[in-house]
Chains A and B, each alone.
Chain A
C-alpha cells in the first residue's frame, strides 16, 4: 500500500492537513467581520487534503537524478547531524557566552569536523571573522550583538 515514495509522503501530508484543519475549526469567531479568520485556513486545509490524495494516486515522475539525491552515505548523514547539533548548541548558548567567543568556536570546529586540516589558518579566520563582524555591527552600525562573558 505504501510502496511508492509519493504514497508515503501523501500520507504524511494528509496527517498535516488534518491537524491544520482541526486547529482551524478551533479558531475563535469574531462577530464583526464579513469573512472570519478561519475561512481561508479551512480552505487551505481542504486544499492540502485534496492535493495529498491526488499525490497518493499520481504516477512517480521523479528522474533518476532526483532519486539519487536521497542516497546519502551514513557517514555524511552523521556529518549533517553533527553540524545541526552544533548549530543548536550555538543558538542555545550564544546569548549567554557571547557572540565573539561562540562564533569563533563554531567556525573553527565546524570547519574542522568538515575536514579542514590547516588548523592555524582555521583558527585565525574564525577569530578574525567573529571579531570583525562584531566590530562592524556593534561599533560602526550600533547594532547590539550579545557581549557575553568577554569584556568587549
Chain B
C-alpha cells in the first residue's frame, strides 16, 4: 500500500510542469554530450552537478537521471556512423551498426538503435518500478566467486566472435587479457609491465583501446578506399524507414536483451559495457543467422543497444535502494545526490518517496522524450556520412583524439591511441578479429581480480567457487557454452565424413 502511494507521488512529480521540463532538459543535454567525443555519462553528470546547486533536490535529480540515460542513448551515434565509440557501453553497437551505415543504411541503423534503446529503457523502468525493492537483494547476492564465474562465462563466449579462424580469435583475446594486466595490480599494488612509467600505473583506458582499435583502424581502411563515393552520393542515407520484416527481426533481440541487460546492470561492477557485450555475443550464439553478425545485422545492433540502456536503469537499483554505486558513473551520480543533501540508501524509498519514485517515474517520460528528440534528427545526423571522404577522415581522426584527450588530458594517452590504431590495422591486415581483444580486456581484468579476491578470502581453497550456488550455476553454464560448440563441431564433422563416404 505504501509502495502504491509512493508510486503515485512519483508520478505526480514526473508529470508536474517542472518535472517534465527538467527531464526534457536533462535528456537533451545528456544525449548531446553523449554524442561528443569521449564524453560519456560520467563527464555529462560531473559537468551538470554545479548547475543543480541550489535547485530543489527532487527536480534536480530527475534531471540528472535524464542526463545519465540520455548520455548512454546519445553515445551510440558516433559508434554507428564513424566506428568511433564515444563511451564504452556502445562499442558493441559498432560491430553491426557501422557496417549497416557503410551499406548506406545509416538512417535505418540509427533508428534501430534509437528504438532498441527506447525499448531497453522502458522495459527496465517497468521492472524497476515493479521489483526495485526486491531486486536490491539480487544486487548484493554476488560475491567475488560469483563475479569470477560470470566473467569466465563471458570469456567462453569469445570464440563465437571469430571471423573464420578460432585460433586467431583466441590469440586476440589472450593479447587483450595481457593488456589488461598492465598497471598497478589491485590485490598487491605491484607494478606490472609499467616500465616505471606513472602514465601506465592506472592501466590503459578502455576508450584508448576502443578508439584506436576501431576508429583509427577504420580510418586507415577509409584512407585506402578514399575514392569511393557511394556514400556521399547516396541520397537515401538518412532514411529511417523500417520494413515490417526489419521490425520483426529486431523485436526478438530487443525484448530479450532488455531483460538481460537490466539484470546485468543491477550487479555492481558489471554495468552497461559488459551487459552490451554479453548481449551481443549471446544473441549471436542463439541466432540462426549468426553468419550475418558483424556484417550489418539488425539483430546484432538491436541486442547491445537494448541491453546497454536497460543496464543503465538497472544500475539505479543498487544506487537508489542500497546507496551502492556499482560503477564509476553511478559513483558520480551518487555525488550528484549528495551535493543536494540526499543520501540514497535502504531508507530512501520510505523516507523520501517523492525522490525515489519521482526518478523512476520520470524515466518513462525521459525515454519517450529521447525517442522524440532523436528520431527526427536522424536524417540530418546521418548526412555526416555524405561529407567528402578526405574531410570526413580528418574529422574522425580529430574526434578520436579529442575523445581520448578529454578524459585523460595527457598526450601520453594520445600516443597510446596511435599505437592501438597501428595495432588494429596490422590485426586487420592479418585477419585477427578486434572484438575478442576488447572483450577480453574488459572481462579479463575483472576476472583476475575476483579470482584472486576469492582465493584470498578462502585462504587459497578452490572449493569456494563450487560451494557458492550462484558461482556453481554460472560455472556450469560457462562449461556448457564452451563444450557445446566443440561437440557440435565434431558431430557435424562426423556427419560430413559419413556423407563423403556415402557419396564416394
Contact = CB atoms under 8 A, between A and B. Distances in A.
- Taking the complex as a whole, does A directly touch B, i.e. does some CB pair lie under 8 Å apart? yes
Interface of A: 5, 9, 13, 20, 23, 27-28, 30, 33-37, 39-41, 44-45, 47-48, 51-52, 54-55, 58, 61-63, 66, 69-70, 72, 76, 79-80, 83-84, 87-88, 90-92, 94-95, 103, 106-107, 110-116, 122, 125-126, 129, 133, 136-137, 141-145
Interface in B140-157: none
A34 B390 contact: no
B220 interface: yes
B171 A62 contact: no
Interface string B380-413: 0000000011110111011001100110010100
Contact of B405 (A27, A76, A110, A145): A145
Given A62-B431, A122-B391, A72 B224 contact: yes
A54 B165 CA distance: 12
A33 B187 contact: yes
A51 B171 contact: yes
Interface in B342-385: none
Interface of B: 33, 36, 39, 43, 47, 163-165, 167-168, 170-171, 174-175, 177-178, 181, 185, 187-190, 192-193, 219-220, 223-224, 226-227, 388-391, 393-395, 397-398, 401-402, 405-406, 409, 411, 414-415, 418, 422, 428-431, 448, 451-452, 455-456, 458-460
10 contacts: A33-B456, A48-B174, A48-B178, A51-B174, A80-B223, A91-B401, A92-B411, A95-B411, A115-B227, A136-B36
Nearest to A31: B188
A66 to B, nearest CB: 5
4 closest Cβ contacts across the A-B interface? Answer: A114-B390, A116-B390, A30-B188, A110-B394
B394 A106 contact: yes
Contacts of A55: 167-168, 171
Nearest to A86: B397
B181 A91 contact: no
A62 B164 CA distance: 8
Contact of A40 (B398, B431, B448): B448
Contact of B394 (A52, A111, A133): A111
A52 B167 CA distance: 9
Contacts of A87: 397, 401, 418
B415 A142 contact: no
A54 to B, nearest CB: 6
B133 to A, nearest CB: 37
A141 B34 CA distance: 12
A137 B36 CA distance: 9
B226 A141 contact: no
B155 to A, nearest CB: 12
Given A41-B178, A47-B174, A51-B167, 18 more contacts: A34-B459, A37-B187, A45-B178, A48-B178, A58-B167, A69-B429, A69-B431, A83-B219, A107-B395, A107-B398, A114-B226, A114-B389, A114-B390, A115-B227, A133-B398, A141-B43, A144-B409, A145-B406
Contacts of A44: 174, 177-178, 181
A20 B167 contact: no
A27 B182 CA distance: 12
B459 A115 contact: no
A141 B462 CA distance: 49
B429 A116 contact: no
A51 B164 CA distance: 16
A70 B394 contact: no
The winner among B167, B177, B431, B456 for most chain A CB atoms within 10 A is B431
A19 to B, nearest CB: 10
Contact of A34 (B167, B429, B456): B456
A60 B429 CA distance: 14
A113 B391 CA distance: 10
A107 B411 contact: no
A152 to B, nearest CB: 17
Contact of A91 (B165, B178, B418): B418
Contact of B224 (A62, A63, A76): A76
A110 B393 contact: yes
Nearest to B44: A141
A5 B168 CA distance: 13
Contacts of A133: 398, 402
Contacts of B414: 91
B47 A35 contact: no
A107 B388 CA distance: 13
Contacts of B431: 62, 66, 69
Contact of A114 (B36, B223, B448, B451): B223
Given A47-B174, A55-B171, A114-B223, A35 B460 contact: yes
A36 B460 CA distance: 11
Given A33-B188, A48-B174, A87-B397, A23 B405 contact: no
B224 A30 contact: no
Contact of B192 (A41, A72, A106, A114): A41
A145 B227 CA distance: 34
A90 B401 contact: yes
A13 B224 CA distance: 27
Contacts of B224: 72, 76, 80
B168 A35 contact: no
B181 A34 contact: no
A40 B459 contact: no
Contact of A110 (B178, B397, B452, B459): B397
B394 A107 contact: yes
Given A62-B431, A103-B398, A136-B36, A37 B190 contact: yes
B470 to A, nearest CB: 21
Nearest to B415: A91
